[in-house]
Amino acid sequence: MTDYERLPHGMDQGEIDDAFRLFLAEHKTMTPTDAVKAITQVIMRLDYNSVRPDVAQQVTPVLINLWDDTDAKLCEYIAAAIVTMQRPAGRAFLEKKATCGSAASEAIARSALTEFTTDGAGDSCTESASSGEVQ
């Protein structure tokens, strides 16, 4: 498994895309905590690059599936990553979590929602928040 903490800083867009693809290939063999640490390390290396929409579309459902209402710290990292992805499915998931009944999850979700810069309007496809599949 890749040591994501050892990824170099200052990666170009192609290298960032490759790091996200590597994460997508490896995340199923990781614990939720390790997966969140890995994606956080990739995001920290974005610098002035952005997450390509097709990559964000694939990463968002992984993040959603990692959410655990019993681990607030983990959820904070997941929420931050969901905001970085800026996908409609992520926004819909956070909106649902903002009223889920868990005080910690609700607070984390509400805070993250204030950081969304788009409502997803104008996307050429729709995503299902529960599955992340393109419809």
- pLDDT for 24-71, tens place per residue? 999 999 999 999 999 999 999 987 778 899 999 999 999 999 999 999
Structure confidence at residue 117 (pLDDT): 79
pLDDT digits (tens, 9 = 90+) for 105-119: 999 999 999 998 765
42 in Cβ contact with 4 (< 8 Å): yes
Residue 135 predicted with pLDDT over 60: no
Q: What is the 3-state composition of the chain as percent helix, strand, coil, each rounded to the nearest 5? A: 60, 0, 40
In our burial notation (b when 16+ CB lie closer than 10 A, e otherwise), range 112-121 reads bbeebeeeee
Distance of CA 59 to the CA centre of its chain: 6
What's the whole-model pTM score? 0.82
Residue 128 predicted with pLDDT over 70: no
